[in-house]
A and B are shown apart, each in its own frame.
Chain A
Amino acid sequence: MVSSQDSDSINSTKLRTSDLPITSRPTAAILILIIGLGGILFGLALSISVGAADIKLSTVWEAVFHFNPDIRQHQVIWELRIPRSLAGALVGACFAVAGAMMQGMTRNPLADSGLLGLNAGATAALAFAFAFTPSMPFTLIMLFCFIGAALAALLVFGIGSLSRNGLTPIRLTLAGAAVSALLLAVSQGVAILFHLSQDLTFWLAGGVAGTTWGQLKIMAPPILVALIVAMMMSRSITLLSLGSEVAAGLGQNTRLVQAGGMLTVVVLAGTAVSAVGPIAFVGLLIPHITRYLVGIDYRWVIPCSAVLGSLLLIFADIGARLLNAPYETPIGALISLLGVPFFIYLASRRKGAVS
């Protein structure tokens, strides 16, 4: 539905969009894509080479190219390290693209799945899941988180857009903060009543450790589809990022694009959160860096964000494993260390324009 809408707008607006102030630097973007993909390959290689078990580099490569199921180390590489590294790459792309789309559609530089309540929604759903069914299969946990994230997103965006002036950045951020506070309070209450606070905190801290091929198989298809849809929508998002009046003036059905975009964001962020826990700030950090590098044309911003997001998460995960080996440092916390100062910088840089 979205793509047909998109092509309509292309037909009717082809001439005029060129007049708009869309800065883009395709050369930089292509460079980022090439170098980034190289970096991802290098990161993946590095990622499967380090870990808690001592495995020699030569054994690692043997495991990759001449897999022998009888060798214990080969099993570790295939069953634990490779899915984990791939999950990191996928999830990083998810968070980054979801953030980029949210920021573009809502014209809110502070949009991020963590700040907009999606993570809290997943957490609340998880708290209930832990409390009422102490042991449930992973797929069900994922589903729960996903529903929680989706409901929270609906709530935040619903309330954010209720007012006459529509979704202003500060309104969205405030709605996100309030919904987060509500849902986290509910989770806290459930956790205290059912004596599972620390279980929940472990999940809150986030991490890609323990991802299995089975989980990867479940999460990969929706993520890939959503990423492709995001790419297809990138043009409409560029127009929306210039303001809904501009987009509407160019013949775009803004409501439809916003709805489709939100659905994509929920799929991306919901799946990612359910797989690795609420990792905040990737979706905030990466799109900003990307826009700084390649300009504001989302046809470039979205793929570049995906690549850079993958890169960030792969290396953060490597750091999480090495920092306090043999124990894992929570990756969510690690990324927050980077993200918080950046967020404060963004918030304090903005002048009266936010209100």
Chain B
Amino acid sequence: MFALKRNKSGSTKLAMAGLAALMVILSACGDNNAGNAANSTAGSTTAPSAEATAAPSQGEAKTVTDAMGHQVSIPVNPQRVLASYLEDHLVTLGVKPVAQWSVPNGIQEYLSPELKEVPTISYDLPLEAVTSFAPDLIIVDSESAVQNGLYDQYNKIAPTYVLGDAVNKDWRKALTTIGDLLGKSAEAAQAIKDYDQKAAEAKEKLASVAGGQSAAALWLVQKNFYLVDETRASGEVLYKDLGLASPNLVTEIPADQRATWNPISLEKLSELKADHIFLVNSDKSDSSEILNSATWKSIPAVKAGHVYELSSNSTWLYSGATADSKTIDDILKFLVKQ
């Protein structure tokens, strides 16, 4: 283990110097974080919490309350926004974030045209990585991401606004809130209007070719099927926006246990009474066995050939104006052409 460290920064000479500086650190650590010297990259808009009590007027930060009750002072016209896993809304509003959400094996593929040059940041938002992007506003999607004092740490880097699960569940609310924060309320409202119009047109088209028909969206991961909820992600598009009927299994999900995607066994799935199945397949090579099984093939929609396979990069797993609009395109492509 010591060999490893030697590789890092061969700083034995500095070790001694650092040792001498130890005392300095210990005495200096108490009072440094109030320093409001904005650094070069962040520009002059970084708003330290002290100056943010004024009412929202031109040229001054406004103070808002987030989902966890924090008083957050939002800089006017923030330039360097970090909103991990909320990039859909930023793209809708035409805002380029300083960094985009990622996991070791992927990013939100469907946004890659818009976010091509945007660097990635790990999903768990490491403090130093966040600091390195020098954001002037951080928007966090869920309370669980900032548990146990992490909020205060982020808030030291830049004003941090927690959207909260309750708001985040409904993309219209999330988009509106983010629009308000970024001073783009009009754009947000317009995006929702555009989407609703697109949905209404699609609904009309569908009514003529597939009126009253039912559809289910399934997600296949590691041999397990998940069924989308009526009100979330692509379920919201299918049932609420486009007026397709919910099949039996979707309505039978116990109300108190509903998640966005609900696990369902193949055995139960065999009872699915849906006219169409949209299958998000996240497991290409593994799935051949399960998709060739006689049980799967005996499901009426499968028998009728009404299964539409979507790649795991598709927008069906996400929600937001940008994602849902693409989901509508998918649905129209499969159902209207026939």
Contact = CB atoms under 8 A, between A and B. Distances in A.
Do A and B belong to a common assembly? yes
A195 B285 CA distance: 20
Given A72-B298, A136-B286, A214-B289, A52 B104 contact: no
A193 interface: yes
A57 to B, nearest CB: 16
A282 to B, nearest CB: 23
Interface in A174-215: 193-195, 199, 202, 209-210, 212, 214
B295 interface: yes
Contacts, number: 72
Given A195-B103, A209-B265, A53 B283 contact: no
Given A135-B286, A328-B265, A75 B294 contact: yes
B263 interface: yes
A278 to B, nearest CB: 16
Contacts of A209: 265
Contacts of A195: 103-105, 123
B55 to A, nearest CB: 43
Given A194-B104, A195-B103, A195-B123, A79 B293 contact: yes
Nearest to B281: A135
Contacts of A69: 294
B222 interface: yes
B267 A52 contact: yes
Contact of B270 (A53, A136, A202, A328): A53
Contacts of A194: 103-105
A334 interface: no
B285 A212 contact: no
Contacts of B287: 135
Contact of B104 (A75, A193, A327): A193
A340 to B, nearest CB: 26
Contacts of B266: 80, 210
A149 B121 CA distance: 36
4 closest cross-chain pairs (CB), A and B:
A52-B268, A72-B298, A195-B103, A135-B286
Given A76-B295, A81-B267, 10 more contacts: A53-B267, A53-B268, A73-B270, A78-B294, A79-B294, A136-B285, A138-B223, A138-B289, A214-B289, A327-B263
